[in-house]
Amino acid sequence: MLGFNELFKKKSKKKKSINEIDLVIAELEVKIQSYHNPFGMFASFIFIDEKPSFPRVQNTLFQLNKTHEAYVLEHNYTFREITPTTDLTGLDIVRH
């Protein structure tokens, strides 16, 4: 027979380590329309993001659409898997 401690034992939550997250190099291309520039603008961003949810891509699009003077007409993003041989030169990597 199980005792009280065995029945209501707290399950330990494993902290997700950086190795359990799929990190990729995301390249986001955005076409932006402005009320001051009717011909539009083009911006390109390259950063490290998490796959499959791509929170940095989503946050960047949200921040660009947040302004009242410009809006995103269209966007496209691609990603490359990070492997031990991937060149990360030019990317600032900060662990929080």
Domain count, the chain: 1
pLDDT at residue 39, rounded to an integer: 85
β-partners of residue 72 are 32
Q: Domain for residue 82, yes or no?
A: no
pLDDT tens column, 8-20:
555 555 555 555 6
DSSP state of 49: E
Percentage of the chain beyond pLDDT 90 is 40
Find the domain containing 45 and state its range. 22-77
- Count of other CB atoms within 10 angstroms of residue 23: 16
CA distance linking residue 23 with residue 52, whole number of Å: 9
Q: Domain for residue 6, yes or no?
A: no
The residue to which tokens 């949200």 are assigned: 62
Rg (CA), the chain: 21
Q: Domain for residue 62, yes or no?
A: yes
* pTM summary value: 0.69
Q: Domain for residue 61, yes or no?
A: yes
Q: Domain for residue 32, yes or no?
A: yes
Q: Domain for residue 84, yes or no?
A: no
